[in-house]
Structure 1
Amino acid sequence: MRWLWTPAWIARHVAMVVLVVGFLGLGWWQISRATAGNNLSWGYAVEWPIFAGFVVYVWWREVRLARRNAEAAAEAPADPAEAPAVEPAPGTTTGSRPAVRRPVRVARVPVDATRGDDDLAAYNDYLSWLNANPGARPGDYPG
């Protein structure tokens, strides 16, 4: 439990408390506005406590994750040679045959450099004309 009292975790605890108190305070403020006649504030009065609950949930989840990581680190052997050997997972079977993983091969068709694309050439000419004439409008293109 020492890991809960490091400077980073103390900052997280303080941030959680400040956010929850702030969100609940904003919810109370919206309730007071709603009772004064602002009907839109009823929706906000419901939203702020939900935001506070979300902050508590994220904080609780992070504490659980850190505790789980600390327990795993405490149980891990100090010397990697003492670690138990991990057996590979058995192959997945499909029906009665084992599934085989094969590399994906992509066939690449070479591009014929001698064959030109007229539309691409015209578009490139248009772009070079626009670059050479920065103040021109696209409708001024002579081609």
Structure 2
Amino acid sequence: MRWLWTPAWIARHVAMVVLVVSFLGLGWWQISRATAGNSISWGYAVEWPVFAGFVVYVWWREVRLARRNAEGAAESPADATDPAGSPAESTAAESTPAATTGSRPAVRRPVRVSRVPATAPPPAEDADLAAYNDYLSWLNANPGARPGDYPG
């Protein structure tokens, strides 16, 4: 639990408390305005506590994820520093995400693969499309002409 008291986590805790108190205070302010006769404030009076709840949810999720990562690092320090492990064993463990974290799959970074541009197939000859393109090019070449003047 020491990782919860690092400077970055202390800043997160403080930000969460400040945001929740601010949002609940704004909700209380909107309730006081709504009871004074401002009817649109009833919607905001509901909205601000929802924002506070969302901040608490995100904070709880981040704490849970960090705790899970810390427990995973504490359980298997030999996996990261094992020079005798063969590449076949490490790729087998990486291919099954549930193997590293028990029954829950691990969240991993996406694999970035360089893309090779696909070659486009040769365009099929379409007589109607070619005639339409000729018509458009003639209209572009003759800006003052009307569409009915097209000789084709």
- Look up the equivalent residue of 1:119 and give its one-letter code: D
SS of the equivalent of 1:31 reads: helix
Q: CA deviation at 1:80?
A: 5.9
Query: Does residue 127 of structure 2 align to residue 118 of structure 1?
Result: yes
Aligned-residue CA RMSD in angstroms? 3.5
Query: Does residue 82 of structure 2 align to residue 79 of structure 1?
Result: yes
Q: CA deviation at 1:120?
A: 2.4
Q: Which stretch of structure 1 is more off in the superposition, 59-68 or 74-83?
A: 74-83
Provide TM-score, normalisation by structure 1.
0.62
Aligned twin of 2:5? 5
Deviations, residues 63-90 of structure 1 (Å, cap 9, x unaligned): 011001100011112326469x66898x
SS of the equivalent of 1:51 reads: helix
Give structure 1 stretches of 5+ with no counterpart.
Answer: 90-110
Structure 2 CA distance for partners of 1:119 and 1:61, relative to 1, 3 Å: same
Alignment of 1:1-143 (within 5 A): 1-76=1-76, 77=78, 78-79=81-82, 81=84, 116-125=125-134, 128=137, 143=150
Deviations, residues 15-52 of structure 1 (Å, cap 9, x unaligned): 21221112111101101101110122122111211110
From the two aligned structures, give the one with the greater helix fraction: 2
What is the count of residue pairs matched by the alignment?
Answer: 117
- Look up the equivalent residue of 2:3 and give its one-letter code: W
Structure 2 CA distance for partners of 1:51 and 1:126, relative to 1, 3 Å: farther
Distance 1:24 1:18 in 2: 10
Q: CA deviation at 1:11?
A: 2.8
The structure whose RCO (Cα within 8 Å, separation 6+) is larger is: 1
